[in-house]
Amino acid sequence: MSFQPVILWTDALVWLLVLAIAGFAWHIARTPALRASWHNVLMRPMGVSSLVVLAAFVLVGLADSLHYRERLAGGQLDVEVKSVLDRVLAPLTAQTERTYSAPLATHSQSRETIEKPDGSTVRETPRLQFGGAHLADPDRDWPGDVLARITAGLGLGLLAGMLFAALLVAMLARVWRCGFASALARLWRPRQNDPAWRSLIVTLALLLLVTGAAASLAGGYHVLGTDKVGQDVLYQSLKSIRTGLVIGTLTTLVTLPVAIGLGLLAGYFRGWLDDLIQYVYTTLNSIPWVLLVAAAVLIVQVFIEQNEASFSSVAERADVRLLALCVIIGLTGWTGLARLLRAETLKLRELDYVTAARAFGVSGPRILLRHILPNVQHLILISVVMDFSGLVLAEAILSYVGVGVDPVMNSWGNMINAARLELAREPVVWWPLLAAFGFMFALVLAANLFADVVRDAFDPRMAARGNRP
């Protein structure tokens, strides 16, 4: 092979999480109650639209979680670890300018001293090496070229959206056992219990339109400009998606076992065990969270620096620090869910079916697994979905104060931290900050909207309130 696969720690955990989600989906398909609740989620247009946006981010993150090393001409392996996303975005990484350039610009942002053919010197903004290099006269050709590229990209996106809609209608026609026209009419005017197919098509079409226009413009320009060292900001923003998703998901793998175990034990057994667990999470909550995380991250950083020889590449070192950050945030962020589960377990343990199970001699652990845990699943799911956006924002905050992910790793927090110092320049370099904010805002907004829909579908109190006349 011309490459060797590389499996980082976070890659293995990400794909393990994908398998776990697939298993959970299989469990949903076999459980009528869960299937009905998720069907209610898919019936909400907002839920479907936010799920499509989240799926787009996840696809980018998964493509960036398939790493490899290229094999050089002499048979040796390249020290740089790349991903499938890097391969797809290779044109963006190859088009590196000297320094800052604004979005869709043809000239550099900074003035340089340029020598004229007659020997005189003048300070002006030079032409970019790649951005708009195909234009003979940028002042004359730029507007028409940008408009033509946007039109072509929108056309390709529209064509892809129409193709997807046609395939979806054909598939639904076979499922519903009707003609194509009848399926199209039902899809556009869904029945009472049909999923929000129209929202799926419209949202995906908008994403394809934006993607098509951006891809068309990226063939000749830097769509979101370049940073201080001339790297494409669009590439950095897309590469940062994986970091945000890893922080938001892998942290949950650490939080859930601790929060569920301690919360259920404290609420069911009560007594000295409840007092001990309450003392632990009350003490943990008394420590400022940022200071606690910062201290733990600095300890890990010192360990990594003292064991540089254990890492064969910069990517592996940065990956270990990212994994350590997930573990640290998880071990310090379980208290809220544990307190919620403890309160719910205190209520459930007094219900008749739990009292009857104890009277028949059923052991405590079995009661927790068979009777208590299934009845708090909705709280766990709602908490996980709603906490995701907070974890994504936490990475930006920690990187801003210098204790986040490794500086060499692409993340929205590192982009914001680097861009804040450039706001005082003249002219202002605003596009790296806006790009990081825009991508983070889209992901967090989609996660929050999806969390609201999941809460309404799984919370029995919200469902009962919705069923009132």
Cα(79)–Cα(64) distance, integer angstroms: 18
Angle of helix 377-400 versus helix 335-348 axis, rounded to 10: 170
Q: Is the pLDDT of residue 275 over 50?
A: yes
Residues 206, 166: Cα–Cα separation, whole Å: 16
328, two tokens: 């640290």
Domain locations along the chain: 236-449
- Residue range 145-173: mean pLDDT, rounded: 93
Q: What pLDDT is attached to residue 460?
A: 57
Residue pLDDT, tens place only, 201-235: 999 999 999 999 999 999 889 999 998 888 999 99
Average pLDDT over residues 419-442: 85
Q: What is the mean pLDDT of the segment spanning 76-104?
A: 87
Question: What is the spatial distance between Cα 125 and Cα 110, in angstroms, rounded to a whole number?
Answer: 6
Per-residue pLDDT band at 469 (split at 50, 70, 90)? very low
CA angle, residues 209, 215, 220, in degrees to nearest 5: 135
Cβ atoms of 340 and 383 within 8 Å: the answer is: yes
Of 324, 251, 316, nearest to 67 by C-alpha is 316
What is the model's pLDDT at position 468?
Answer: 39
pLDDT of residue 311: 78
> What CATH homologous superfamily does 236-449 map to?
MetI-like (1.10.3720.10)
- More confident of the two residues 311 and 214: 214
pLDDT at 466: 47
Residues 220, 144: Cα–Cα separation, whole Å: 13
Separation of CA 299 from chain center: 27
Q: Residues near 351 by Cβ (< 8 Å), separated by ≥ 6?
A: none
As a whole number of angstroms, the distance between CA 216 and CA 150 comes to 7
pLDDT at residue 462 tops 60: no
Q: Confidence class of residue 122 from pLDDT cuts 50, 70 and 90? A: confident
Strands 82-83 and 67-70: antiparallel
Q: In whole angstroms, how far apart are CA 329 and each of 114, 171, 297, 417, 455? A: 51, 43, 10, 20, 24
